[in-house]
Amino acid sequence: MELDDRDVEREENCEAFLSVIEVILGQRIARGRWLVGVSGGADSVALLRLLVGYRGDVEVVAAHVDHELRGEASAGDAAFVGALCAGLGVRYEVARLSEIESRDVARREGGGEDRRGGRLDGVSDGREMESGSKRRLSYARSRAIRLGWFGELVARHEACGVMLAHHADDQAETVGLRMLRGGEAWALGGMRVEEVMGGLRVVRPLLGVRKLELVEYLRSIGQSWREDASNAAGVTKRNVVRALLGRRPELVEGLLELGARARALDEALEASVEGERAVAEELETAWVAGLPDVLGRRVVRRWLRGRGVGVDRMSMSLVDRVVEMARDRAQPGRMQLPGGSMLCRVGGRLRVMPFLEMSCTDIRG
C-alpha cells in the first residue's frame, strides 16, 4: 500500500519526534533545577516543551532577554514567552538587555562582584552600532551580558546551570565562521555540549539535532513559535553564512563532520595536558615554556577559557602572545584581555585580574 502525502508527513513528524525525545532522555542532564534560555524561537521553545513534557525530574526556570532591537516585535517575543511559561506552569524571568548592561557597568565601576564572587563573564568593550533609537551591541558584548545575567539567575535560583538551545545547524554555522577566521584545528570544533564559562555551567542538549527536526516536532504537537526576521538579513557574517547554508544545505553535514573530527583532535590534545596545573587559578610560566608549541597553545587556550575568555573572542594571535609572555621574560608583564580584564605575570606565574582591581607590581615578571 502506498503512503499518501499526509501519511508521509505524519511519518516524518514521528521520526523527528523520536529523534528529539531520544536526545532529551539520553543526554547527561542531571535531575534538579535548571535555568533555560528561551528566546521564543523554534529551537528554545522545543527545548522548553521537551523538558517540561518528558523530564519530570527537571525543574525549569525560563529566562528571556529582551534585546529591544525590533520594537514591537521584541516586546511581542517577551509576551509570547511569558504566556507560554504561564501555560506550562514554568517560572519565568525576563529582563531588558540595556537594564542588565547598566547594572553590570555600575557594578564594575564600583568594583563590585557578582553572586559567583567574580566579574560578570567577559563583558567586551567592543564596537557598538546604532539601530534606530537603540544601540546594537556587538555580538560578543551582547552574548557576554546575557551569560552574566544567566549566571546571576543560576546563583539566585540555586540551579545546576543553564541550558541553551543551540542545535546542529547553529554548530555548522559556527564551524563555517571559524573556517573563514582561520587558526588552529581546535577552533573548528565549534560549540561544546557542556562547558564551564566564567564559572557558569552551560549545557547544549540539542547540539546534535537539526533545526528541521525541532520544527517538525513543534508542528506535531501544534506548538507555535516566534520568527526573528533579522536572522535573514545579511548584516552580520553569521547571517551571511546562514543564508549560504540555507541555499546549500548539503554543506551542513560536511561542516558538522569537520567539527566532529576537530573536536576529537582537541580532546586528544586536552587529554595530553590534563592535570591540576592546566586548570589552576594561576598558570606556571616555566611549565608552559617547556611544552611543544601545539601543547603550549592548547594549555593557554584552555586556561584562558577557564578564566572567562570565551572561544569566540580568543584569537590565535592572543594565544600566541600569552605563550610568548610565558616563555620570554623580556616581554611586557601585563596584557589587557577581551572583556576588560588584565593578564599579569608575577613571580613566574600568570594570573587574570579584573582591570579595576589590577595591581601588577612585577611588570617584567
Report if residue 26 sits inside a domain. Answer: yes
Report if residue 42 sits inside a domain. Answer: yes
Task: Please tell me the predicted confidence (pLDDT) of residue 349.
Answer: 92
Question: Is the whole-model pTM more than 0.75?
Answer: no
Indicate if 68 and 154 belong to the same structural domain.
yes
Indicate if 170 and 231 belong to the same structural domain.
yes
Task: Please tell me the predicted confidence (pLDDT) of residue 104.
Answer: 66
How is residue 69 annotated by DSSP?
-
State how many domains the chain has. Answer: 2
Report if residue 267 sits inside a domain. Answer: no
How is residue 189 annotated by DSSP?
G
What's the CATH number where 321 sits? 3.30.465
Report if residue 362 sits inside a domain. Answer: no
Indicate if 319 and 204 belong to the same structural domain.
no
Indicate if 100 and 175 belong to the same structural domain.
yes
Containing domain of residue 340, as a range?
280-357
Q: Which residues contact 24 (CB under 8 A, 6 or more apart)?
A: 50, 51, 54, 55, 205
What's the CATH number where 186 sits? 3.40.50.620
Q: Which of 223, 257, 291 is the last residue of a domain?
A: 257
H or E segment and range at residue 248: none
Dihedral pair phi/psi, residue 130, rounded to 5°: -80, 140
Indicate if 183 and 38 belong to the same structural domain.
yes
If we measure between CA atoms, which residue out of 356, 341, 344 comes closest to residue 108? 356
Task: DSSP for 269-305, please give it.
Answer: HHHHT-SHHHHSSSEEHHHHHHS-HHHHHHHHHHHHH
User: From the CB of residue 78, how many other CB atoms can be counted at a distance below 10 Å?
Assistant: 21
Indicate if 95 and 219 belong to the same structural domain.
yes
Indicate if 188 and 82 belong to the same structural domain.
yes
- For residues 35 and 44, the answer to whether their CB atoms sit within 8 Å is no
Report if residue 364 sits inside a domain. Answer: no
Task: Please tell me the predicted confidence (pLDDT) of residue 1.
Answer: 36
Indicate if 338 and 298 belong to the same structural domain.
yes
Indicate if 77 and 183 belong to the same structural domain.
yes
**Residue corresponding to grid cell 586548570:** 279
Indicate if 199 and 326 belong to the same structural domain.
no
Indicate if 248 and 115 belong to the same structural domain.
yes
Report if residue 273 sits inside a domain. Answer: no
* Cα 337 from Cα 323, distance rounded (Å): 14
Q: Which of 221, 242, 257 is the last residue of a domain?
A: 257
User: Across the chain, which distance is largest between two alpha carbons, in Å?
Assistant: 81
Indicate if 251 and 345 belong to the same structural domain.
no
Going through the chain in order, the beta strands assigned E by DSSP cover 32-37, 58-66, 91-96, 129-131, 134-136, 162-163, 194-197, 200-203, 283-284, 334-336, 341-346, 349-354
Report if residue 299 sits inside a domain. Answer: yes
Task: Please tell me the predicted confidence (pLDDT) of residue 5.
Answer: 52
pLDDT values of the chain reduced to their tens digit, one per residue, 365 residues: 343 454 445 555 666 666 777 777 776 688 999 999 999 999 999 999 999 998 999 999 999 998 766 678 888 999 999 999 999 999 999 998 888 877 766 666 555 444 333 333 333 333 333 333 344 556 667 777 888 899 999 999 999 999 999 999 999 999 998 888 776 677 788 898 998 887 899 999 999 899 999 999 999 899 999 987 666 555 678 888 988 998 998 999 999 999 999 888 888 877 777 677 777 889 999 999 998 888 888 888 888 888 877 666 677 888 899 999 999 988 888 888 876 788 999 989 999 887 544 445 444 44
Report if residue 341 sits inside a domain. Answer: yes
Task: DSSP for 88-146, please give it.
Answer: HT-EEEEEEHHHHHHHHHHHHHTT---TTSS--TT------EEETTEEE--HHHHHHHH
* One-letter identity of residue 275: G
